[in-house]
Amino acid sequence: MTTVTAKESVEKIFEDDEMALGEVKSSWNTETLLGQECIFFLKDVLAPLGLDGAKVKKHYKEIESRGDHTWEVLGVGKTWNHWIVRMKVFSKYYRKNLVPRARRIPKNWDGNMLLEQKGTFFLTDVCKHIPFTTHQIRYQAKKNPGSRKEFGVWKDKDLQLFLVDMGRFSKWVKNLWAGTYT
């Protein structure tokens, strides 16, 4: 006679990482959030990961239209009215396809703090912190084919937005403001 334990007789419906609905903690950085092995509501991970829900849902629809299983490829599914993220799968897809090309600027930064940073930012956000308009900077970038290399501003073809490499841009602005730019 063979003894069957309760564990052996139960059909496995959920994977181990699907057994708990997690809550995003404000103290987590991106890597901590991406390293979680549980599921989350999509609405709770968008802001911490710098994502737009429409962009994630667009990827979902593309994967679905190819006939692939969105839960296994993207790590996103919809149950009733809730979009759910399986972080173990989503983190891999995010790193490969969804990492934002530019950072958002924290509200507490002023122009001086911003100009000390490294990385890529959206021009519209940058101009909210410095005494130049987006129109002025875009004009300079359009006028100069080497603007990305020279002063760190260019129009991203995929995003159709102007981006700023703060390392180059801050040097340019400092020279321009000091009157030493030629």
| Tens digits of residue pLDDT in 5-33 | 555 667 888 888 999 999 999 999 889 99
Q: Domain limits of the chain?
A: 12-97, 111-178
Percent of the chain beyond pLDDT 70?
A: 94
Nearest to 42 by CA among 80, 97, 87, 102: 87
Nearest to 37 by CA among 72, 97, 85, 76: 85
Report residue 1's pLDDT band, with 50, 70 and 90 as the boundaries. low
Report residue 160's pLDDT band, with 50, 70 and 90 as the boundaries. confident
The model carries a pTM of 0.65
pLDDT of residue 4 exceeding 90, the answer is: no
In tens, the pLDDT along 50-84 reads 888 999 999 999 999 999 999 999 999 999 999 99
Q: How far is Cα 36 from Cα 30, in angstroms, rounded to an integer?
A: 10
Q: What residues does 86 pair with on adjacent strands? A: 39
- What average pLDDT does range 139-147 have in this prediction? 95
Dihedral-angle region of residue 141 (phi above 0 means left; psi in -120 to 50 means alpha; beta otherwise): alpha
pLDDT of 58? 94
H helices of 12-133, in order, are: 30-34, 42-49, 53-65, 70-73, 87-93, 111-115, 123-126
Q: Which amino acid is at 181?
A: Y
Token pair recorded at residue 102: 């530019």
Report residue 181's pLDDT band, with 50, 70 and 90 as the boundaries. low
Q: 118 or 10, which is more confident? A: 118
